[in-house]
Structure 1
Amino acid sequence: MRRESVSSSRIKSIGYDEKNKVLEIEFFSLGIYQYIGVSLKTYQTFLTVKSKGRYFDGVINNKYLCRKTG
Structure 2
Amino acid sequence: MIPVSSSDLQAVGYDSLTRRLVIQFTERTYEYSDVPESIYKGLMNSSSKGKYHHEYIKNSYPNLRIG
Does TM, scored on the shorter chain, surpass 0.5?
yes
> How many aligned positions are there?
67
Partner of 1:16, secondary structure, is strand
TM-score under structure 1 normalisation? 0.92
When normalised by structure 2's length, the TM-score is 0.96
Spell out, residue by residue over 1:2-54, the C-alpha distance to the aligned partner (whole angstroms, 9 max, x if none).
x100000010000001111000000013x110000100111011101100010
Structure 1's consecutive aligned runs of 4 or more residues displaced over 2 angstroms after TM superposition are none
Q: Distance in 1 between matches of 2:61 and 2:10?
A: 20
Indicate the RMSD between aligned Cα atoms, in angstroms: 0.6
Question: Equivalent pairs: percent with the same residue?
Answer: 33
**Structure with higher strand content:** 1
The match for 1:17 is 15
Structure 1 residue runs without a partner (length 5+): none
